[in-house]
Structure 1
Amino acid sequence: MNFRTKTAAALAAVGIAAGALMSMASGADAASAPCSGYTYRSKAAVNVPLVGGTRVTVGYTYWYQKSYAHSPTRMCAVTRPASAYAGKTNWLYVALESNAGIDRDGGNYRYYAGPVTVARSGRVSLYAEVGLKTGKKYSATLDSI
């Protein structure tokens, strides 16, 4: 085996190992990958209200913050389906809005919508939506995150 072939094989093995490690991440760590470099702040559940007051969670929206020394703080958010729906195509939507502007992403995704980012200016609102194969869409809106 020549040097080039050995190097390519070694790099492929490193890539496979890195992929395996990424797939083992869970919770806030897994959700932060699209917002890498940001600090985790919190998450909110997107719930389906059922008869009798019970709620079933169909997804989560995670948001993050990054502060800079000489520029405005930035916010980042992603919406992910609950683990029972992950890997299946679902309607996912996430939007962040502040006085500085709005950023949004939505579509039929398997793992997450986003990341979306805005400068933190005044009140920041977060809107998330998860739609299941039934055609119904469920949403969560958070102000002042």
Structure 2
Amino acid sequence: MSINLRVKDVCNKITIEAPVVRENDDLNYLITTLVKNPIARTLYVVDNSGKLVGVIPVLYLLKICGYVNYGIIQPGIFLAKNVFILTGKKAKDIMLDPITVTEETSVSEAIKLMLQFEVQEIPVVDENQNVIGDLNSIEILAASFDFKHSG
């Protein structure tokens, strides 16, 4: 195992193309985008210039589905936040602030961010905050343990 791995060494191996959507895309488009890429666990929201402005975890879309179709609302301290999410109609209404890495970020730093923010994927951005890839936690595990697919 190499402790000097960089994001560029491991990203875009599982999620080949990062799932990018626009701020004004509706829920149907968001879900359609995920269905086309079922490995993805996060949508990356960009503005009209292509700059990353937010992320939408699959769990947020599941919360909306649970509420709209089954009347399920997560109880407790997150209720106020959930009501806002559950009533959102466009990507910009439900997105979270993005946590990002660059190709030169160390894998160890990426792991720290994933654990701190409890996410399974992080967008890889360039110097202009354009999404150039996706770092998936499984890619890190495979690279860190020298996993070789035998087929």
TM-score, length basis structure 1: 0.27
> Which structure shows the bigger proportion of residues in helix conformation?
2
> Which structure shows the bigger proportion of residues in strand conformation?
1
Question: 1 or 2 for the larger relative contact order (CA 8 Å, sep ≥6)?
Answer: 2
Q: Give the greater-gyration-radius structure (CA).
A: 1
